[in-house]
C-alpha cells in the first residue's frame, strides 16, 4: 500500500521576498518583483529587465571561507533548504540517517562561469578562481545542502531544464510513497542573471521588453528571474505521530517527453503529463480547483498550454482558475517548479488564488480564467502545478489542502 505524503516544511527566496511570509504577502498583494536589472551593465541590451532577489546578502548566511566555495545559485538553494528544514521542526527525529534524502534541481553555477570567463578572456588572468569547478558543477546545490544539514540518505540532482525542480520534488514524493525514504528535502534554485546568460536569452528572441504578461494577447515573452524553493516531504504517519504542522498533502506526479523539438512545446504531450498526474493521484479532472500554470508569457507556450488544458479538462475548464505567478517573480528556470509549488501550497493553505499580473487583453487562443491582476479569495482543495521545459521534458505535481 502506498504511503501518504505530507508537506511539512517550506522555504523560499524570490523576487517577492527573502522568506515564506514575504513571498506570501507579495502574492496576495499582487506585487511584481520585476524591474531594471541592477549590478550589471544592461545598456547594450534590448531587454533590460529581470526578476532579481533584492536584498539578499550572502555574508549574512555564510562564513567568509564558505563564500569562495558556493556560487549564488547554491547559496540560494541552501538558504531556502535551511528555511524548509527549520519550518519542518523535528522531522528527522527518530528516523534513520539513511532514510532522509535530498533531491534538488541541477543547476550550473552561472556566476562562477561568468566570472572565470571574464578573468580569462577580458582581464587576461593566468587562471580562474581555483574553486571554479566545484562552484559551477550542476550538483553543487544538493551537495552543499547535504553537507550543511547533515543529510546522509539518497541525494542527487535532476536536470530537465525548467522542469528540473518539479521532477526533483516528484521523485522525492514517489520515493517516500514507495517506502524508500521517510523524509526528503526537495526543490530547486537558479540564478542566471549574469551578462553572458542575459545576452544568450536575448539571442533566442523570447524575452519580454517591459513586463511578463502570461495569457494576455499582447504578451511579449518571458522575464528571466532568480530564486529558490524548497519543501520537506514526509511520510504522513510519521508527521502525524510527531504532531507536525502539515501545510498540504502531495497526492500525484506525472511526466512525459515530447520527443519532437528542442524549444517548441507539444500540446498532446503536455496534456498527457497532466492526465498521468490525475491518474497517479486517483482523481478526476473535475476534482481540480486550481492550476498553477507554467505560463511563461511566450506566444507559443501559452497557446499550447491552454490547448492542453482544454484537452484534459474539457467542460470543466471555464470553471477552473489557471494563473501564472511568473508574472510576479519571473521565470526562474530550474527553480521554477519549486517556487510554483510553494506558491500553490500557500494558495491552498491560505485560501486564495495567486494572480496573473500584467494581463491587459483577452486572447481567444488563451480563453482561461487567469485570475487577472489581483489575487482572489477562494477555497481551492486540489491543485496542479505544471512545468513544461525546453527539450519537451514535462512534469506536473498534484497537491491537496490538508484538513486535520
- Choice among 212, 238, 294, 370 that is catalytic: 294
CB contact at 8 A, 187 and 231 = yes
Strand intervals (E) in 209-273:
226-235, 248-257
- Choice among 111, 144, 331, 366 that is catalytic: 331
In angstroms, rounded to a whole number, what is the distance separating the alpha carbons of residues 63 and 52? 23
Joined together, the cell numbers standing for residue 194 give 549574469
In angstroms, rounded to a whole number, what is the distance separating the alpha carbons of residues 341 and 154? 22
Q: Is 316 a catalytic residue?
A: no
In angstroms, rounded to a whole number, what is the distance separating the alpha carbons of residues 341 and 207? 24
402 Cβ contact list (under 8 Å, min separation 6)? 6, 7, 246, 247, 248, 249, 349
Pairing of strands 352-353, 376-377: antiparallel
CB contact at 8 A, 270 and 394 = yes
Among 216, 221, 183, 175, smallest CA distance to 202 is for 221
Among 345, 343, 365, smallest CA distance to 356 is for 343
Q: Is 294 a catalytic residue?
A: yes
Q: What is the CA radius of gyration of the chain?
A: 20
- Choice among 144, 162, 167, 247 that is catalytic: 162
Q: Cell 515564506 sits at which residue? A: 20
In angstroms, rounded to a whole number, what is the distance separating the alpha carbons of residues 309 and 386? 11
Pairing of strands 248-257, 5-13: antiparallel
Helix (H, G, I), strand (E, B) or coil at 295: coil
Q: Is 111 a catalytic residue?
A: no
Backbone angles phi, psi at 44, to 5 degrees: -95, 5
In angstroms, rounded to a whole number, what is the distance separating the alpha carbons of residues 58 and 215? 36
Active site members: 162, 294, 331
Amino acid at each position: 500500500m502506498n504511503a501518504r505524503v505530507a508537506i511539512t516544511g517550506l522555504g523560499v527566496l524570490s523576487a517577492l521576498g527573502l522568506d515564506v511570509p514575504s513571498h506570501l504577502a507579495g502574492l496576495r498583494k499582487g506585487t511584481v518583483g520585476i524591474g531594471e536589472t541592477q549590478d550589471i551593465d544592461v545598456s547594450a541590451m534590448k531587454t533590460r529587465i529581470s526578476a532579481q532577489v533584492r536584498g539578499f546578502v550572502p555574508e549574512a548566511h555564510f562564513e567568509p571561507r564558505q563564500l569562495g566555495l558556493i556560487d549564488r545559485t547554491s547559496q540560494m538553494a541552501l538558504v531556502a533548504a535551511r528555511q524548509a528544514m527549520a519550518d519542518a521542526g523535528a522531522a528527522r527525529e527518530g528516523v534513520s540517517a539513511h532514510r532522509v534524502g535530498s533531491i534538488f534541481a541541477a543547476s550550473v553555477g552561472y556566476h562562477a562561469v561568468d566570472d572565470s570567463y571574464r578573468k580569462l578572456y577580458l582581464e587576461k588572468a593566468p587562471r580562474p578562481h581555483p574553486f571554479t569547478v566545484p562552484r559551477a558543477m550542476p550538483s553543487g546545490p544538493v551537495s552543499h545542502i547535504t553537507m550543511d544539514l547533515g543529510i546522509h540518505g539518497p541525494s542527487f540532482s535532476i536536470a530537465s531544464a525548467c522542469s528540473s525542480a518539479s521532477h526533483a520534488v516528484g521523485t522525492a514524493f514517489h520515493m517516500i510513497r514507495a517506502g524508500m525514504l521517510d523524509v526528503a528535502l526537495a526543490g530547486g534554485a537558479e540564478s542566471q542573471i549574469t551578462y553572458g546568460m542575459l545576452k544568450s536569452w536575448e539571442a533566442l528572441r523570447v524575452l519580454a521588453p517591459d513586463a511578463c504578461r502570461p495569457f494576455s494577447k499582447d504578451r511579449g515573452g518571458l522575464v528571466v528571474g532568480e530564486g529558490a524553493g524548497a519543501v520537506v516531504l514526509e511520510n504522513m504517519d510519521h508527521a502525524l505521530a510527531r504532531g507536525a504542522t502539515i501545510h498540504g498533502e502531495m497526492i500525484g506526479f506525472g511526466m512525459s517527453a515530447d520527443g519532437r523539438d528542442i524549444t517548441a512545446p507539444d500540446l498532446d504531450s503536455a496534456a498527457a503529463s497532466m492526465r498521468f498526474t490525475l491518474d497517479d493521484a486517483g482523481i478526476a479532472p473535475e476534482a481540480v480547483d486550481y492550476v498553477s500554470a507554467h505560463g511563461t508569457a511566450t506566444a507559443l507556450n501559452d497557446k499550447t498550454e491552454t490547448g492542453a488544458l482544454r484537452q484534459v479538462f474539457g467542460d470543466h475548464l471555464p470553471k477552473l482558475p489557471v494563473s501564472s505567478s511568473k508574472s510576479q517573480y519571473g521565470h526562474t528556470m530550474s527553480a521554477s517548479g519549486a517556487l510554483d509549488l510553494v506558491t500553490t501550497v500557500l494558495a491552498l493553505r491560505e485560501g486564495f488564488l495567486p494572480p496573473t499580473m500584467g494581463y491587459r487583453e483577452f486572447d481567444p487562443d488563451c480563453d482561461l480564467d487567469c485570475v487577472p491582476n489581483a489575487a482572489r479569495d477562494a477555497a481551492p482543495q486540489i491543485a496542479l502545478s505544471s512545468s513544461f521545459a525546453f527539450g519537451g521534458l514535462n512534469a506536473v505535481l498534484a497537491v491537496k489542502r490538508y484538513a486535520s
